[in-house]
A and B are shown apart, each in its own frame.
Chain A
Amino acid sequence: MAETILDARHISKEFHDPVTVKVLHDITFSINKGEFVSVIGKSGCGKSTLLYILSTMDTDYAGELLIDKELMTGRKDVELAAIRNEKIGFVFQFHYLLNEFTVLRNVMLPGLKLGRYTEQEVEHRAMERLNMLGIGHLATKSAYRVSGGEKQRVAIARALINDPHIIMGDEPTGNLDMRNSEMVFEIFKELAEVHNQTLLIVTHDPGFAERSGRIIEMEDGRIIRM
């Protein structure tokens, strides 16, 4: 049996402001290693909210979350930050690179934070990933000087730097044109198939979802297909 990477158990969430609205109802599912999962659903169905709970950044929920068989629920900010650093890679809809740094430095930062490798090794690993994504030539450019599609690939390289257990994406192609979306999808697909990388991608692009390994569809805070 495949190894379970992420396990969500009875997760519920309410927003209290301005009135109490239950956005997630008793969500239970698990993701195995190497799966390419997309979460789809209409706007406001709670798919992004779910993603941020699964990413450990949002801690205000009921239920239990296990990543790599460890319970995340109720842990401290510092521990969760360390877990995000080591085990989770993020790709967002907007590219969120640090404009003060070069492309290479952006990719290196989470690796330096982890501190498992020396600076030279982190740099080497960052270059490997940039080259793998075909943007090695951008390494010394400032982050704000590269195009949108390139930024998203830099963000993917950054997500990969610490060999995470799972990469999470919040509409990573939502802000890209067809060609770049296609390129990003191909990268995800290759990561899943060649490198056995686990992926959990929230998207509203049905075409994107159809071609991924597994679809979780949500509606009104509930999973209706998985």
Chain B
Amino acid sequence: MRSKLIFGIAKSLLLARWRQTLVAAVGVTFSIAMFITLLSFMNGLNDLLDGLILNRTPHVRLYNEIKPSENQPVNAAPGFKDSYNFISSVKAGVTRQEIYNSGPILQTIKNDPRVLGVTPRLSTQVFYNEGTIDITGVINGVDVEEEMRLFNFGDYVTEGSAIDAEQVANSIILGKGLAEILVADIGDVVQVTTAQGERFPLKVVGYFQSGIQEYDKVQSYASIATTQKLLGKPANYITDIQVKLHDLDMAPAVAKEYAQLFAIDAEDIQTANAQFDTGSSIRSLISYAVGVTLLIVAGFGIFNILNMMIYEKMDSIAILKATGFSGSDVNRIFLVIALSIGLFGGVVGLLFGLIFSVIIDNIPFNTAALPTIKTYPINYSLIFYFIGGSFALITTYFAGFFPARKASRVDPVEIIRGK
């Protein structure tokens, strides 16, 4: 009953000055809509850019790093065990890039419940022979089917067919940039020379376009079997094991565990791509800052309008107080006014934010660097709507707080006698 009365009075005061109310509400609507649009777009872009790297990057990569042994013999020698030994010019010993015992390791990882998938890889340096010129590059031997499933490999093969690399013997998928340098069309044969000096003809079955040009000028893909043949190695020879987890955030822990379990080097995605994380979080930070600024500006608008309203309504406030409404009732009336502006403006703002996002989502966006992207990216995460909505209410509450307090302190005697 009491609150119904307060809502009724607030509503009448609001509707009596509906133009001002509308201006205040439009301020909130505009800022919320911009907040939502900005964050959705910015995060869509972030996801896109992250995806560029992260989708193709294994969460954990197992490999053998070529590096000197940490336990140099002198440290183990009884005579020098307890002393601090300075050794200069340490070199790596006979380290092989091959992962020992790769079959059982693959099997063990595959059975780990945290793991979404695991695929071997074999990378090797080669020279592509273009007439008399040799161009350095890398051939990645991959399990094409698994690569397509786990790392969206198929999306980046812009011409030809990814699966042909598996099915056509001695075939290769060239990076787009590399193909242009080599002037190699699909169906052509390119010559590669391995580091060991073996020369090998490979048939081009597709182009690969990652969106990162430097990468496309160097990299190419072949099946594992082809690459092993190229190197003259047996069928269990692989240099990398790529693991994709269900939960990306577990990567550092899993990497540590595998490194210990298999006595191997393990790198997690967070360490490998720290700069992307930083970039994303800073972009998010900027968009939040801009969005919050918009909201605060709208808050000042509401503050002004409420303040004006209180000066206009001094008489009404005085009469309400004289007829038995207490200071806290008056306070509540003005808070309800502020919050209803926030609520109404906020809800409409969320709706407009969604509409703007959908519009942006449908604007065509074609770029050679990003073959899978057809329109501008938008992230429709509910969390933005939640933050936007709560922020609308919080700012309007604070915008209403001081005017409402002022109204509650109006001395009716002063107003009534002051006439």
Contact = CB atoms under 8 A, between A and B. Distances in A.
Interface in B299-326: 315-316, 318-326
A48 interface: yes
B263 interface: no
Interface in B1-35: 1-2, 5, 9, 12-13, 15-16
A164 B322 CA distance: 13
A94 interface: yes
A226 B234 CA distance: 123
B322 A100 contact: no
Interface string A31-63: 000000000000000001000100101100000
A48 B417 contact: yes
B323 A85 contact: yes
A112 interface: yes
A84 interface: yes
Contacts of B328: 78
B96 interface: no
A92 to B, nearest CB: 6
Contacts of A109: 5, 9, 320, 323
Contacts of B318: 96
Contacts of B74: none
B154 interface: no
A100 B13 contact: yes
Given A78-B328, A113-B5, A100 B323 contact: no
Contact of B324 (A85, A94, A99, A105): A85
B321 A52 contact: no
Given A98-B316, A115-B1, A92 B324 contact: no
Please indicate which of the listed interface residues A55, A112, A170 has the most CB atoms of chain B within 10 Å of its own CB.
A112
A81 B12 contact: no
A81 B326 contact: yes
B8 to A, nearest CB: 8
Interface string B65-83: 0000000000000000000
B137 interface: no
B316 A100 contact: yes
Interface string B375-419: 000000000000000000000000000000000000111001101
Contacts of A55: 322
Contacts, number: 78
Nearest to A170: B416
B323 A158 contact: yes
Please indicate which of the listed interface residues B12, B16, B315, B323 has the most CB atoms of chain A within 10 Å of its own CB.
B323
Interface residues of B, number: 28
B322 A90 contact: yes
A84 B323 CA distance: 6
A82 interface: yes
Q: How large is the interface on A (under 10, 10 to 19, 20 to 34, 35 or more residues)?
A: 20 to 34
Nearest to B9: A109
Contacts of A52: 413, 416-417
A77 B316 contact: no
Nearest to B17: A100
Contact of B16 (A48, A100, A114, A170): A100
B322 A98 contact: no
B329 interface: yes
Nearest to A85: B324
B327 interface: yes
Nearest to B319: A96
A57 B329 contact: no
A101 B324 contact: no
B68 to A, nearest CB: 81
Nearest to B408: A77
B324 A110 contact: yes
A81 B319 contact: no
B324 A114 contact: yes
B12 A101 contact: yes
A115 B319 CA distance: 18
Contact of B321 (A81, A83, A92): A81
A112 B329 CA distance: 13
Contact of B12 (A84, A100, A112): A100
Nearest to B6: A113
A109 B326 CA distance: 13
14 contacts: A52-B417, A55-B322, A78-B327, A78-B328, A81-B321, A81-B325, A81-B326, A85-B324, A92-B322, A96-B319, A97-B319, A99-B316, A113-B325, A115-B5
What 7 pairs between A and B have smallest CB-CB spacing?
Answer: A85-B324, A81-B326, A100-B16, A100-B12, A110-B323, A96-B319, A78-B326
Given A84-B322, A101-B12, 17 more contacts: A48-B417, A55-B322, A57-B321, A57-B411, A78-B326, A84-B324, A85-B324, A85-B325, A86-B324, A90-B323, A98-B316, A100-B13, A100-B16, A105-B12, A109-B9, A109-B320, A113-B325
